[in-house]
Structure 1
């Protein structure tokens, strides 16, 4: 498979029956280029500060900067690795191992120029857009091991996980590998991004074990305003995340963005309804969780269903996510700090199934490939999701074990009690009183001042 064909994998995978011509080299489209460039900028805001603020607000105040720093450093590292070898190993199809991994012809972007094209947009822009996909996926996992993992271990884990998990998974699904040829209905990364990260989060939570005091101490979010701000930015960015996958400024892209918006709205209302019935009052945190669950669930579906189907998917996915977050997690006692598995992992799996259901023309969907029905499409859909779960679990365990051997995974008990902001980074997120350097590194030549308890939403949040 040549680069031209591989670069259109996202669009072709959405509608294998459209017969898109790929032999002729289309001219540069200023409109398509501007659209994808704008989507890239908005996805960047989705990561920084969107994901950062969303997670940081859920942490306790003594760990707020550690979460932000882990996400910032992970994204920076992944951008470098993607440029060095990630893009080539994902989208260079000229190799005998093309079914599993790409080639090395484009290491450090060798051979790519300003005139290189992918469809109707410059290849540099395509590389940037796909780099943002790669850069946001591993940091999602931070929400599972927050407040207890060494910073050095985080960086090692991120680099290894990107290499042995995300790059092969992305190549197999989007870069011309064997999963691409199966014809799974996953438009914008339900498997590669969300199911993959969700399962990895569960493995991380199980391997690292719970935070000290988990189950006996209050670990409430320290700043819901921060989480709300980050969640709102995630919703905005999600429209660009999915819409940009059309790689063109056209009616199809607008349908994708509308579906994405409605999936988030359906999820918010679904979670709100469940809380209202069972707790007699809806919570802001619950609605935000429902919004993310709905957005995750509609990610694979956004290019295959109609607006009504997108809204239904967002609404229907929330009961199972609530069940995993409220019941399953408590029953088995694992500490998925910010419910990455319960939201991303569960919603991605359910969304993958509902994608096939609501793609039916009778339910307002855009239909299936010419030789498939709902039943025949469901078989590879579930099989590939099972494959994704297996690969994610194995590769995540390997990445964790390597990091553990090299530097160890968990911080010391004293450091965890003190908070990772000071123990790992020598900073504090808030000005705590006289003599404390609020938000700035402590001078290396001075002793750290004694820290007073931080004031947060809940006095028990510490």
Structure 2
């Protein structure tokens, strides 16, 4: 065991944990004031549910056994987990590895909630979260990182392109389609309700992403440094490119647009962070911005799906682009196309993406259909129209959405 590596993985675990409150603020700031509290609450409740599922059976299903698709219950409730040595040949004990990987499960399922905030039945969501972690996240983590079929094939996913971003993006889109589109009102818009929260949330996400990607080296070495550099520079390139595209289109220098570009850059570099050079990371950031910017708008216009806070648009599309570009730009040691001239790695990456999409979409549909046999997936229309924050939560992220504030304004108008 290496003390420095243990410290780094514990710090990285804390950084990845911080991403979920960051996501809550980012989502909450972007959300309409009638469901901003609902948006934040769904990320907060994930902080409670996901670690419990992970400790009880998620880690065991993901990282025990030698199955092609899923592990077993050898480490149920962390039974037999080692705290002073590694069974994976790492410089950190298995308990530290379990902790780090568990943080990924939290942020992944939190991302999904952004697609259906403000209209999904809370009871249904509380059932969906643990079932999805067990039936989608754990098998994918096993297949990619736990010795399963995708790892044996040689699929490259440094920190979660398939496991985190594509799975959550596709699941969010599937759930959004099953739940249905929001009711629209002429008095409401989809413009960000609290730009301060958007900025703070994006900053926490970006900061936490350093632990997300660099920590995935699982040791303090050159790869960890490379992943750290690539994470920052890809996000910077995507932020700049996205801002320019949006400024040309709208004529407005929008903070939300720039930060959205940065987030997409962080997504695209995730599967490639330790496999590509910094110059390639810059190119990846530049390329992903126009692809997501224009493709997301085209798909939503054509297919009319309601991905409320762009979980699919950013994470699903961005993750798919990242997986493909990883095959293109990976260094010679990782069989990238530009470095070797071989298309083999591209075929492996595409197959891994297809398997991830099929599992995420198929199992999300099955879980939602099973829940719907007992509970409606959607809240009643009258509650949605009045605002789920008022009817369900009684708390308000935005002062402007508070009934007390609105009464104060009306009183002043009468004077």
Residue in structure 2 matching 1:427, options 374, 378, 395: 395
Is the Cα–Cα contact under 8 Å of residues 185 and 300 in structure 1 kept in the other structure? yes
Q: CA deviation at 1:425?
A: 2.3
Tell me which residue corresponds to 2:50. Answer: 78
Alignment partner for residue 368 of structure 1, among 311, 315, 335?
335
Assess if the C-alpha contact under 8 Å between 2:329 and 2:336 holds in 1: no
The answer to whether residue 124 in structure 2 is matched with residue 153 in structure 1 is yes
Residue from 323, 326, 333 that aligns with 2:297: 326
Question: TM-score under structure 2 normalisation?
Answer: 0.93
CA distance in 1 between counterparts of 2:124 and 2:40 reads 16
Kept in 2, the 8 Å contact 1:296–1:344? The answer is: yes
Q: 1:93 Cα shift?
A: 1.5
- 1:187 lines up with 2:154 in the alignment: no
Question: In structure 2, what is the equivalent of residue 222 of structure 1?
Answer: 193
Aligned partner of 1:459 in structure 2 is: none
Distance in 2, matches of 1:215 and 1:149, equals: 21
Q: Is the 1:269–1:290 Cα contact (8 Å) retained in structure 2?
A: yes
Question: Shift in Å at residue 202 of structure 1?
Answer: 1.2
Shift of residue 115 of structure 1? 2.3
Aligned residues of 2:36 and 2:398 also touching (Cα < 8 A): no
The equivalent residue for 1:57 is: 29
CA distance, structure 2, for counterparts of residue 431 and residue 292 of structure 1: 27
In structure 1, the residue matched to 2:347 is 379
Matched, 1:392 2:360: yes
**CA offset at residue 280 of structure 1?**
2.6
C-alpha displacement of 1:201: 1.4
Equivalent residue for 1:24?
none
Aligned to 2:3: 30
| CA drift at 1:351 | 1.2
Contact 1:356 1:374 in 2 (8 A): no
The alignment status of 1:105 with 2:78, answered yes or no, reads no
Alpha-carbon distance, 1:234 to partner: 0.5
Which residues in structure 2 correspond to 1:394-409 (within 5 Å)? 394-409=362-377
Render the CA deviation track for 1:198-224: whole Å, top value 9, x for unaligned.
Answer: 111111121111110179842222111
Aligned partners of 1:215 and 1:320: how far apart in 2? Answer: 31
Task: Tell me how far 1:427 sits from its aligned partner.
Answer: 2.8
The Cα shift of 1:325 comes to 3.0
Aligned to 2:18: 45
Give the drift of 1:384. 1.4
Q: Please list, as runs of the form range in 1=range in 2, the aligned pairs for 1:264-413 lying within 5 A after superposition.
A: 264-360=235-331, 367-368=334-335, 373-413=341-381
Which structure 2 residue ranges, 5 or more long, are not aligned? Answer: 411-415
**TM-score (normalised: structure 1):** 0.83
Shift of 1:326: 2.4
**Secondary structure of 2:184's aligned partner:** coil
**Given that residues 193 and 398 in structure 2 are in contact (C-alpha distance below 8 angstroms), is that contact kept between their aligned partners in structure 1?**
no
C-alpha change, 1:454 and 1:188, in structure 2 (3 Å) is farther
In the alignment, is the contact (CA less than 8 A) between 2:137 and 2:163 conserved in 1? Answer: yes
1:231-258 Cα offsets, whole Å, 9 max, x none, are: 1110111111011111101121010110
The number of residues matched between the two structures is 407
Structure 1 distance, partners of 2:295, 2:107, is 24
Distance in 2, matches of 1:417 and 1:151, equals 16
Tell me how far 1:54 sits from its aligned partner: 0.5
- Point out the structure with the larger helix share: 2
Match of 2:168 among 191, 197, 202: 197
2:85–2:94 contact (8 Å) kept in structure 1: yes
Distance 1:307 1:322 in 2: 23
Per-residue deviation, 1:122 = 2.2
**Residues 233, 282 of structure 2: 8 Å contact kept:** yes
CA distance in 2, matches of 1:86, 1:57: 31
Note if contact 1:60-1:219 (Cα within 8 Å) is conserved in structure 2. yes
Structure-2 change in CA distance of 1:433 and 1:330 (3 Å)? closer
